[in-house]
Structure 1
């Protein structure tokens, strides 16, 4: 900005000097020494003007080069940032795969002899065994064998022998899924055992979590007891019944689905 101002000033001086010299030439009494002095000044101003223009051109070129370098650095920074995001996403994906593999390994290690044929065939491996149903990362077995059925304790032992346990219902979605897979059998008093029991006057799931859903029937069907049944063909949010654990019923087993490497 200062260089431009200086050039403008010198141009104005040159114009004024030119006008002055023109006037001087017309004067018959002009001094030769004065004319020479003016010519010297004009030469100096021309040199300064040319130098200033050269400086401006140089600075402009330098600024252009610097701006190009800055733009290149910005693009490089954007590229590195994008690569970093991709690496972070890849790292998260690998971490999930590692966790899934560790979970699968932990499940397999529960077996003395893992039943590969129950999970895998020539077409590949499944997350659940035959006759088990997959839902939201878990496998469910709705025990549907004919009488004799099992007590609450006997049902839980059966599930644990399968490296599972009686079902724990976490939310309304799971309650809906389970209820839709119940089948009426024998009479209205029979249902499916689930992993809910009364402990110190608090209804508690077998994983230690206190129940907060409370999908109880408004009236108990039979003898009330310390464990819970799911009754088929009832209102979705009113189909739990309190029963004595010695009664024989069908039941629902549950375990985490097996995640096989792709």
Structure 2
């Protein structure tokens, strides 16, 4: 039996986080925790820590395409996830080279947690026109959902559902809108599919955690690589993230960073 018959592979196409709390590094930790072989395609190198991004250097589109082909040609990738895609050329390279028929989860990273803009307007349009129509799932937070849907303000569940429906109209297979930016004691994410809407709610944990979006989308990719259907993968990934923020890593500055490596059994959280 080939080893890859026992260990599924997933591929993260994203930026590198020198602090290890988000991006490629967080994705690999998540894949490892969930029993998935992690392949990577680096789209950008960032100088960042838990507080801020101080520099961004994008990879050439040709290099991104070659990385995807190198992975695709030798690893049986069962799910792709994207994070930071800084320009339209990189987005087109991703679209041209990912394997057809393999689930593509898009985390539309636009702004860092510290407020730094990570992609240009041309990249937003390319994301909408080129890549979202190929997605199995898009996982925007509230500000990202507002940009993608064209809604000026998303202030509650009904707005989230409406934004998700508009993003579906762009060609997305499904949309998981993360409700972390809303207020209240309960945090609710909304999965909008063509045939149903599903709410995932849990008590809101105090604090501001670095890397939650990356961990969530990579956990969904990992569960789907293991054969789980979309809605169940989203639910399991939310549980995994809740575990990963229950005992975070704390940087020297005191900022809390999600820690997926600690939690491989969500039943114990």
TM-score per shorter chain, which class? Answer: under 0.3
More strand by share: 2
More helix by share: 1
User: For the pair shown, which has the larger CA radius of gyration, 1 or 2?
Assistant: 1
Question: Normalized against structure 1, the TM-score is what?
Answer: 0.24
